[in-house]
Structure 1
Amino acid sequence: MKWRWMALCLLYVQGAGAQVQGKSQEQQALMVDTSILLHSATVVGRRNEAATDLPYQIELIDAAAQRRVQSLTTADVLADLSGVYVQKSQLGGGSPVVRGFEANRVLLVVDGVRMNNAIYRNGHLQNAITVDPNVLERTEVIYGAGALAYGSDAIGGVIHFRTREPEFRPDGGLTGYATGNFASAANAVNLSTGLEYGRGKWAGLTSVSLNRFGDLRAGANRPDNYGDFGLRPNYVVGDEVVINEHPALQVGSGYEQYNLLQKLRFRPSDGLELSANFQYSTTGNVPRYDALTETRDGQLRWARWDYGPQTRLLGSLRLDDRRATQLYDLASYVVSYQFVEEDRIQRRLGDPTEEASLVDVASWNAQVDYTKGLNPMVRLRYGLDLRHERVDATAHPAEEPTRYPSRGSGLAGGGLYADLSRELGNWQLRGGLRYGYQRLTATFGADDPVEWPRAYLEGIVNPSAALTAALGTQYRRAGHGLRLLIAQGFRAPNVDDFAKFREQSGRIQVPNPELRPERSTTLEAAFSRFEGSLRYEATVYATLLEDAIIRRDGALPDGSPFFLSHGDTLFVDTNVNAERAWIYGFDLAAVWSFAPGWELRPEAHWLRGRRRQEAPDGTRLTLPQDHIPPAYGRVGLRYAAGPWETNLRLDFQLRKQLEDYAVNSISGTATSGYVFDIVGSADNPELTPYGTGTPGWWTVNLYGTYRYSDRLSVYLKGENLLDRFYQPFASGIAAPGIDVGIGARWTW
């Protein structure tokens, strides 16, 4: 960790996500904690707007619901959101899939500050765990293209982590909390404590937490035809392959994580509030489990494959001004600094050389948001944001190539938006425009293992711009609602798309200065009933993705399709805008309060994806899109009476056939017949039993909460009670077997 950044970040400390004042107890009670948001006045999103004012599908999970199911990582929190599918390559991670989009096509936000940075890749992305789950007030998902408010990356949706805010205390005093949890499947321990303090004009919150995970045990109830699939028969110690006496124990999956949060709020005068927020998260080494189990010629390939300590540091400052002027009724100003350290440490079995790829990303962001009521029925929202990021990459030993340009790379950009809403009786009409611009830079070194052309040594540039729009309408009457939306999204290429260098298997990836943004258009419609004993919402959607970025055979600036390096001939790859895809699906969610204290909650999600992919003879074929999970859902039964609350939940996933997996490459012609190679695609077909695709599965889970007093609550859970073995779609690690957990929370 570069400790100098911590000192610098203290100068920038922020209070992103300040609570909207005056939120009534009635509004808080309308929150639906672990379901599609059927109806709620809860504030969500970048501008802290009432959810009912947004023409988007929204889902949230609040802190109370998170504690009931004892989510020990932020990835677990996301998995407990009904509409989010989570892929895991290792225990220390979790890559959310939102409406068939994953990684850099889903925008992560914490307290109003974007987490996506210049190196977020298009494969499985495990960065979500760097947010401390113990301090979350709630997690919000805004589904669909969110470019209007957020700009680049919000194609599938926006995941907004909102941490707890300290409360003002006119009478002074201190309050605090301490929590502890244990879960048996990984012998996981979570400890967290926080202290809240303040007076009438200022408030503060300090929180620290520790998560420790041992090796994860998979389920023992296995289908007969699985053979050794998903078992860990052996593992490496030093350079010795050791027999695993308990093959269901996934040796090499445990890790540790440490978190610190400091928040301050200050009200210098009526209508003016300054908030500060400092967050620090770091891990021990996080084993890349799917790589550690990889074999070649029947032998384990890696003696070590770790993500080195994964560190994220955030500091920012927010000013909320509610003193109305001719320009605005409410103004919010946010400046933030974020530092991310991402290291990879690898050693092949039998090779004494340990390779390390070290990457640091420093991000500066500023955003301004204004809201103005033009009359009682019309409201205008407008603003801008600016962004600057710097990527520094090194490698050890020195002769190893750096993952990103050795002389530095980065991006700078910004955007302007305007958003207008009008009330028309029971109807609301809302729409807006955003213009975004970005400039990528990359400079390679003369001492790199590859002899770059002069233009690469002097620095290459990639500018891109996008104009996007959104238009939605809502109708509410007699407890029923109708919602229609068309929204555009875009993703400007980042450094990982533009300038990642990786010499592998006789090929080398080189930049494409002509790379353009990916663009999407989403249509969706929803019908809901939000009053009465039976509430429900049905949503259908379709997204067209154009100019999608994929890797293809490329050429150097002089037109050569290969490059000579140290006597080797390396064929050239490059990223290009060459794909068109469409994804469509539906979501169903309901809550039936059929008796006092009883609720039934069924939810289901189905989606499909197809794309146009070019064969070697130039024919464009329609083939499956990647990152599309099989149909999945849950049915929950909840009962609450007195101090007790119990939840019985059945989670399920249907089968995904192998022919529905994305194709990695195509060979052959229309005359000779095409051959489709799916190995190596983001769907990870090699991580399926005997190449049959992802089998369906279901689990039974039971949760209980006992409120012993106003200060003490005890939580119990039993997940996967039948100890079934299963491995979620595209995941590189098996899910936990039977997992018995106990937790407690004490407040004072």
Structure 2
Amino acid sequence: MIRFSLLVLIYTFAISSSSQTVQVRDTHTHQPLELVNIFSQSEQINTITNMKGQSDLQSFVNINDITFRLIGYETVTYSYNDLKNKGFKVLMEQIELSLDEVVVSATKWKQGRRETPAKISVLKPKEVNFLNPQTAADFIEMTGDVYIQKSQMGGGSPMIRGFATNRVLIAVDGVRMNNAIFRSGNIQNIISLDPFATNRAEVIFGPSSVIYGSDAIGGVMGFYSFDPIVSHEDKSILKANALTRYSSANNEKTGHFDFNLGFNKLASFTSISYSDYGDLKMGKNGPDEYLRPQYVERINNEDLIVNNNEPILQVPSAYNQLNLMQKFKYIPNEKWKFNYGFHYSSSSNIPRYDRLIMTDDDGKLLYGDWYYGPQQWLMNNINIKHSASNNFFDHLQIIAAHQYFEESRHNRKIHKENIKRRTEKVNAFSTNIDFEKQWKDGDKFFYGLEFIGNKVGSQGIEENLINNDTNPAASRYPDGSTWLSAAVYTSYLKHVNTKTNLQAGLRYNFVYLNADFDNSFYDFDFKDITINTGALTGSLGIIHTPSENWQLSSSLSTGFRAPNIDDVGKVFDSEPGAVVVPNPNLKPEYAINAEIGAAVVVVKKWKIDFAAYYTHLTNAMVRRDYQLNDHDSIMYDEEFSRVQAIQNAAKAFVYGIQAGIEYKWKSGLSASSRFNYQKGEEELDDGSFAPLRHAAPWFGTTHLSYEKNKVRVDLNAQYNGEVAYKNMPDSEIGKAYLYAKDANGNPYSPGWTTINFKAQYAFSQSTIVTAGVDNITDERYKTYSSGIAAPGRNYIVSLKLSL
């Protein structure tokens, strides 16, 4: 009897003890929330949640004011009895209008907005589900602060503060996607990412080389894919989503499926997406120069020029794409967390539309074929996090990754039998080791190491389409080239007082490049190029919070871009009649940026933010006329072309403003608007200045929305300023076929406005229908520097089912 009573007592005590462990999760994602501050002002006690979102409340028994606070979430207060009635489970809601949002990209560790001077835009899953972007390029455009250029439908080249391509950086789950052949011309690697697998995206504006190294001059786009959800309980978790979508402008048919299986310490997340896009229709109202009156079709081994019965149909532009993602998470205890991620993306052939519409002086089409072969991207990465307070760090993170890239170019002049095929493959390896140390006064010290290695394979062949005979042809890059980078970096956050934070950072980066040239096709006066170079970058910023609703910031930051294989070693036709050749004498380009910003929230209804910046670029790597063996022109692909090369021949500057305003009514109505203006110029050989190629015209977006219960609707306008002929860069004037003509017959980029409408209805928690109409007025327009016209009136409908 005594033994039985003792067992009952032990069992009762165990139940009582377990009931005092609180579990805190996000209301929508149900992910555990770490570092939630739990405190009682009346009793002057506090604790925080661990990585499982759990904390022991034994010292809070019978207390009536237990407050839960986490940056970016609504603060909530309960009594101990309230928590007991809830089963010690707390759900926290993210704040809609706040200056306390959590960001990760600035230091690779979670921080509050009040701890970083950088301007950062954040996109969350809720916006992806509602706005339904077709590609990751369309997704990042939804920030309202990033401009997207498209040479073909299967593309999307982000422009940030006057910089683009290899002067902006893409990171996926903390791994840099930029590789040794990222070029200065428009790139479309961003479309390899799957919006349906993306949990959130952050855009850091301005130089961020202290944390991210080479290429982070204009900004950094950080994409974070969904993490597997661990149950942290005895029962397992099974969640699944299926989505299908149709868009009329390009006859899009998309299907997506994902599911999460979570156990106490182990979880898995699987995502599969497939999209098939037909030829894209442009709008009916706009410049006739954008129409597609004819196209080339190859029939019985002959190129025939076909009259287009529907000139608004951009033939050919169709392609398809498959995206796969598999992630595993393992949490053996509170100190260790292991994540493994596998990403794979592959497209079909993608027609290079901007080249296929090129004509000769007589107005006849130039190319019979010009397309990119399947764009493939594969990444394996492992992320290890360790929490252990000691003299050196509180948190440690190791990210090791391997990426494989494959792309190819296939082009043939009309009525020619031979097609040039050039294929590039890159194996990229990277390791980042990051540490975070926090002191009792709140100061934080971040430091880390980075190692990157790229190996480039490049082949060229010429194939006869009649008999399929092949012969070697010049490759785009030196085959077997290597690009290596090693860096050490640090950042310190100082809490000067309760209202002022100071952040400073420093990085030293070493870069090594080697390329061996095959002179079988070109008579270079060198056999190899070796570059050993380094760069020291820094940042200094101050964040002042006069009150809870105000934030002021200012910063100085530097960035650099080291020469890569594309800069040093490529041979390609940059434009009709011009060929770019290698230059062994390149050095890094260097940027310095000054910025001020302000943000305010008024009575929890209004939020206004503003940033002004100036960026100065020195040793700018630009394309200029050049000589090869004392010749200013050579034969390239059967055309006599003037010789050019990438050179440190210029300096450039960009200045501008970014501003936004949001308003929310209690009724569920909300309104927001974003506006961007930038002006950029680069120095020419004669010392004069000309417009910078990637400085976009002013652009913006305005939304009027309503959301209540099961309904959400949004009416928005997207708008874009004109680039007059006098403000066009010379490189764009040379591509007049892409542009409309002004009253004098000169190329220019017209301004435009589109009106768009989206609506969403949740029949239940598991069934959501979204529908909308983009470009309601059926405008015919192109975003600046684009080769393909944007979609005309576009009807979109999607159905999402959840389990």
| TM > 0.5 | yes
Aligned letter for 2:714? Answer: N
Aligned letter for 1:350? Answer: H
> How far apart, in 1, do the equivalents of 2:95 and 2:322 lie?
26
2:265 to 190, 201, 205: 201
1:485 to 555, 560, 563: 555
CA contact (8 A) 1:33 1:61 kept: no
CA contact (8 A) 1:685 1:691 kept: no
| 1:578 equivalent in alignment to 2:649 | yes
Structure 1 counterpart of 2:318: 254
- How far is the alpha carbon of 1:26 from its aligned partner? 6.2
Superposition TM-score, scaled by structure 2 size: 0.84
> How far apart, in 2, do the equivalents of 1:337 and 1:323 lie?
28
Query: What are the equivalent positions in structure 2 for 1:46-61 lying under 5 Å apart?
Result: 47-52=108-113, 53-61=115-123
Structure 2 counterpart of 1:142: 204
> How far apart, in 1, do the equivalents of 2:247 and 2:473 lie?
41
> How far apart, in 2, do the equivalents of 1:32 and 1:696 lie?
40
2:714 to 637, 640, 647: 647
1:463 to 526, 532, 543: 532
Runs of 4+ in 1 over 6 A off after TM superposition: 17-20, 22-26, 30-37, 503-507, 558-571
Structure 2 counterpart of 1:703: 758
Secondary structure of the structure 2 residue equivalent to 1:299? coil
Query: What are the equivalent positions in structure 2 for 1:202-217 lying under 5 Å apart?
Result: 202-217=266-281
Structure 1 counterpart of 2:133: 71
Aligned letter for 1:470? Answer: S
CA contact (8 A) 2:257 2:272 kept: yes
1:94 to 134, 156, 166: 156
Structure 2 counterpart of 1:428: 501
Structure 2 counterpart of 1:11: none
- How far is the alpha carbon of 1:449 from its aligned partner? 1.1
| 1:404 equivalent in alignment to 2:471 | no
Aligned letter for 2:291? Answer: L
- How far is the alpha carbon of 1:51 from its aligned partner? 4.2
Structure 1 counterpart of 2:615: 543
Unaligned regions of 5+ residues in structure 1, if any? 1-16, 665-677
Secondary structure of the structure 2 residue equivalent to 1:47? coil
Structure 2 counterpart of 1:680: 734
Secondary structure of the structure 2 residue equivalent to 1:253? coil
CA contact (8 A) 1:180 1:743 kept: yes
Alpha-carbon spacing, 1:373–1:114, altered in 2? closer, same or farther (3 Å)? same
Across the aligned residues of Structure 1 and Structure 2, the Cα RMSD in angstroms comes to 2.6
CA-to-partner distance for each residue in 1:184-237, whole Å, 9 max, x for gaps?
A: 111101101012112111111111110110111111123xxx3x3111111111
Structure 1 counterpart of 2:380: 315
- How far is the alpha carbon of 1:265 from its aligned partner? 0.6
> How far apart, in 2, do the equivalents of 1:143 and 1:273 lie?
30
- How far is the alpha carbon of 1:36 from its aligned partner? 11
CA-to-partner distance for each residue in 1:284-325, whole Å, 9 max, x for gaps?
A: 001111111111121111111110000000001111001222
Query: What are the equivalent positions in structure 2 for 1:348-363 lying under 5 Å apart?
Result: 348-363=413-428
Query: What are the equivalent positions in structure 2 for 1:222-241 lying under 5 Å apart?
Result: 222=286, 226=287, 228-238=288-298, 239-241=303-305
Alpha-carbon spacing, 1:306–1:508, altered in 2? closer, same or farther (3 Å)? closer
- How far is the alpha carbon of 1:460 from its aligned partner? 2.1
Structure ID, larger Rg: 2
1:300 to 347, 356, 365: 365
1:591 to 648, 658, 662: 662
> How far apart, in 2, do the equivalents of 1:721 and 1:487 lie?
42
- How far is the alpha carbon of 1:552 from its aligned partner? 2.8
CA contact (8 A) 1:36 1:60 kept: no
Structure 2 counterpart of 1:712: 767
> How far apart, in 1, do the equivalents of 2:391 and 2:516 lie?
46
CA contact (8 A) 1:519 1:548 kept: yes
Alpha-carbon spacing, 1:571–1:253, altered in 2? closer, same or farther (3 Å)? closer
Structure 1 counterpart of 2:727: 660
> How far apart, in 2, do the equivalents of 1:254 and 1:25 lie?
50
Alpha-carbon spacing, 1:271–1:563, altered in 2? closer, same or farther (3 Å)? same
> How far apart, in 2, do the equivalents of 1:565 and 1:272 lie?
57
Secondary structure of the structure 1 residue equivalent to 2:166? helix
Structure 2 counterpart of 1:395: 460
Alpha-carbon spacing, 1:137–1:34, altered in 2? closer, same or farther (3 Å)? farther
CA contact (8 A) 2:230 2:237 kept: no
- How far is the alpha carbon of 1:371 from its aligned partner? 0.5
- How far is the alpha carbon of 1:594 from its aligned partner? 3.9
Alpha-carbon spacing, 1:566–1:537, altered in 2? closer, same or farther (3 Å)? closer
> How far apart, in 1, do the equivalents of 2:794 and 2:635 lie?
54
| 1:337 equivalent in alignment to 2:402 | yes
Aligned letter for 1:419? Answer: S
Aligned length: 703
Identity, in percent, stands at 30
CA-to-partner distance for each residue in 1:546-600, whole Å, 9 max, x for gaps?
A: 11001234455x8776789999998653322111111001011011124521111
| 1:513 equivalent in alignment to 2:565 | no
CA contact (8 A) 1:34 1:82 kept: no
Aligned letter for 2:163? Answer: F
Unaligned regions of 5+ residues in structure 2, if any? 1-30, 35-50, 54-67, 75-91, 463-470
CA contact (8 A) 2:249 2:281 kept: yes
Structure 2 counterpart of 1:327: 392
Alpha-carbon spacing, 1:702–1:32, altered in 2? closer, same or farther (3 Å)? farther
- How far is the alpha carbon of 1:393 from its aligned partner? 0.5
CA-to-partner distance for each residue in 1:484-529, whole Å, 9 max, x for gaps?
A: 1110000011100011123787765443332111110111111110
Query: What are the equivalent positions in structure 2 for 1:361-380 lying under 5 Å apart?
Result: 361-380=426-445
> How far apart, in 2, do the equivalents of 1:413 and 1:605 lie?
34
Aligned letter for 1:415? Answer: A
CA-to-partner distance for each residue in 1:45-67, whole Å, 9 max, x for gaps?
A: 56132241221101111111112
Structure 1 counterpart of 2:465: none
> How far apart, in 2, do the equivalents of 1:542 and 1:734 lie?
31
Alpha-carbon spacing, 1:183–1:685, altered in 2? closer, same or farther (3 Å)? same
Q: Tell me which moved more, 271-280 or 587-596.
A: 587-596
1:621 to 653, 671, 688: 688
Alpha-carbon spacing, 1:745–1:569, altered in 2? closer, same or farther (3 Å)? closer
> How far apart, in 1, do the equivalents of 2:97 and 2:222 lie?
15
> How far apart, in 1, do the equivalents of 2:722 and 2:96 lie?
24
Structure 2 counterpart of 1:668: none
> How far apart, in 2, do the equivalents of 1:566 and 1:661 lie?
29
Secondary structure of the structure 1 residue equivalent to 2:593? strand
Alpha-carbon spacing, 1:662–1:161, altered in 2? closer, same or farther (3 Å)? same
| 1:733 equivalent in alignment to 2:788 | yes
Alpha-carbon spacing, 1:714–1:29, altered in 2? closer, same or farther (3 Å)? farther
Structure 1 counterpart of 2:6: none
- How far is the alpha carbon of 1:161 from its aligned partner? 1.0
> How far apart, in 2, do the equivalents of 1:567 and 1:633 lie?
44
Aligned letter for 1:586? Answer: I
Aligned letter for 2:734? Answer: G
Aligned letter for 1:219? Answer: G
Structure 1 counterpart of 2:37: none
> How far apart, in 2, do the equivalents of 1:565 and 1:727 lie?
31
Alpha-carbon spacing, 1:51–1:233, altered in 2? closer, same or farther (3 Å)? farther
CA contact (8 A) 2:52 2:334 kept: no
Superposition TM-score, scaled by structure 1 size: 0.90
CA-to-partner distance for each residue in 1:715-736, whole Å, 9 max, x for gaps?
A: 1111111111111111111111
Structure 2 counterpart of 1:13: none
1:124 to 162, 166, 186: 186
CA-to-partner distance for each residue in 1:133-187, whole Å, 9 max, x for gaps?
A: 1111011101110111101101000001111111102311422110111111111
Secondary structure of the structure 2 residue equivalent to 1:390? strand
> How far apart, in 2, do the equivalents of 1:39 and 1:632 lie?
27
CA-to-partner distance for each residue in 1:337-388, whole Å, 9 max, x for gaps?
A: 0000011111221111121110001100011100011442321100010011
Alpha-carbon spacing, 1:482–1:561, altered in 2? closer, same or farther (3 Å)? same
Secondary structure of the structure 2 residue equivalent to 1:607? strand
Structure 2 counterpart of 1:62: 124
Secondary structure of the structure 2 residue equivalent to 1:64? helix
